[in-house]
């Protein structure tokens, strides 16, 4: 996908704002696998309502000519966090899994650490997917046998964020746990079975407080809690990095959004994603923060719904979980 904004332009703009006399609040929202054509403001033929994203486009600026040397999850996040080309990292192709070691080099400046050093309160809420420092159990030869009761040695909490509430990787990668300020909120007490259809999931440990269909809501609620904490008083400007889990597989919209569009569960999930952006906008309005806040929205890459054909019930190949909405092209003119 050609990103809605240029990461390099974003970083340069942020640096310029930080060194100005009046520092704005900054919110950077990143959707996961959302197609260019899924946003109404970018695709006049879109069949999915996205009123909140359309509002951002209408009231702000839209960048439509950006290119990625590796249009998948982890490389994009590395570029956003560090401002570097993804191929300068040790990951030369593909993505990390949920157990991956930290990708950002030790001592590397991140957007979070830069802004924190320049007087910002910083928060990261959502999908990390840049590797974490899980502590392996003693005397274990299994590389994925971790002690989830131990605080992580690396993660958003060590990369410049005062507050963090994250999941390790994409919602289809174990371990399925929430990590708050470097500590797992609920030690896994069960195993999520591998599922290929309708919601693709890999087998792995899952925390007692982790429920797939609630994950997107739960993460955005944490972001709203952070925003509410910034209301009133002479407080620092804030930076909120909000990498969403949607509409990446597993395509599992919350039950209250099912049937909200005529485009199957994928359309419903896009609609829910837009509603989550609306929840953030409402929190800003309610806290009288909108006027002083810069909001940037993008997707890490395009949609996996890249084929045009669709079948009547929106369900197809169980291996790739290709939900294909009727008469809607998620990536618009792009592949």
- Classify the phi-psi angles of 150: left when phi > 0, otherwise alpha if psi is within -120 to 50, otherwise beta: beta
pLDDT at 202: 94
In a domain, 310, yes or no: no
Taking residues 148-155, report their average pLDDT.
98
What is the CATH number for 29? 3.40.720.10
**Residue 319 maps to a domain:** no
Residue 329 lies in a domain: no
Mean of per-residue pLDDT scores for the chain: 88
Q: How far apart are CA 335 and CA 326, in angstroms?
A: 17
First to last CA, the chain: 8
Domain count, the chain: 1
pLDDT digits 0-9 by tens, 175-218: 999 999 999 999 999 999 998 766 789 999 999 999 999 999 99
- Would residue 306 count as lying in a domain? no
Query: Residue 81's pLDDT band (boundaries 50, 70, 90)?
Result: very high
The domain of 127 spans 7-299
Confidence grade of residue 15 (pLDDT, cut at 50, 70, 90)? low
Whether 17 shows a pLDDT value over 70: the answer reads no
Q: What is the pLDDT of residue 319?
A: 35
Residue pair 175/98 in contact (Cβ under 8 Å)? The answer is yes
- Does residue 119 form part of some domain? yes
The mean pLDDT of 223-228, rounded to a whole number, is 97
- Alpha-carbon distance of 131 to 104, in angstroms, equals 8
> Does any domain span residue 324?
no
Domain-located, residue 32: yes
Tell me, yes or no, whether 171 lies in a domain: yes
């Amino acid at each position: 996908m050609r990103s809605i904004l240029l990461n390099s332009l974003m970083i340069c703009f942020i640096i310029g704002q930080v060194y100005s006399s009046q520092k704005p609040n900054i919110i950077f929202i990143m959707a996961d696998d959302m197609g260019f054509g899924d946003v109404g403001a970018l695709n006049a033929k879109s069949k999915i309502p996205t009123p909140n994203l359309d509002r951002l486009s209408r009231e702000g600026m839209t960048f439509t000519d950006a290119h990625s040397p590796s249009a998948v999850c982890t490389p994009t996040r590395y570029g956003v966090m560090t401002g570097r080309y993804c191929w300068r990292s040790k990951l030369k192709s593909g993505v990390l899994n949920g157990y991956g070691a930290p990708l950002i080099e030790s001592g590397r400046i991140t957007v979070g650490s830069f802004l924190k050093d320049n007087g910002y309160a910083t928060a990261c809420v959502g999908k990390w997917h840049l590797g974490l420092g899980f502590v392996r159990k003693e005397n274990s030869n299994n590389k994925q046998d971790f002690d989830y009761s131990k605080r992580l040695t690396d993660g958003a909490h060590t990369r410049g964020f005062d507050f963090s509430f994250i999941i390790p990787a994409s919602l289809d990668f174990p371990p399925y746990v929430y990590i708050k300020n470097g500590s797992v909120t609920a030690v896994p007490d069960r195993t999520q079975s591998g599922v290929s259809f309708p919601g693709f999931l890999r087998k792995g440990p899952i925390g007692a407080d982790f429920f797939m269909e609630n994950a997107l809501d739960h993460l955005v609620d944490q972001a709203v809690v952070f925003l509410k904490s910034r209301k009133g008083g002479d407080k620092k400007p804030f930076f909120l990095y909000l990498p969403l889990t949607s509409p990446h597989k597993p395509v599992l919209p919350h039950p209250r959004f099912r049937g909200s569009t005529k485009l199957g569960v994928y359309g419903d999930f896009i609609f829910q994603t837009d509603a989550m952006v609306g929840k953030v906008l409402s929190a800003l309005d309610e806290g009288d923060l909108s006027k002083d806040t810069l909001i940037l929205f993008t997707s890490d890459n395009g949609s996996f719904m890249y084929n045009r054909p669709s079948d009547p019930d929106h369900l197809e190949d169980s291996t790739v979980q290709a939900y294909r909405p009727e008469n809607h092209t998620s990536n618009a003119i792009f592949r």
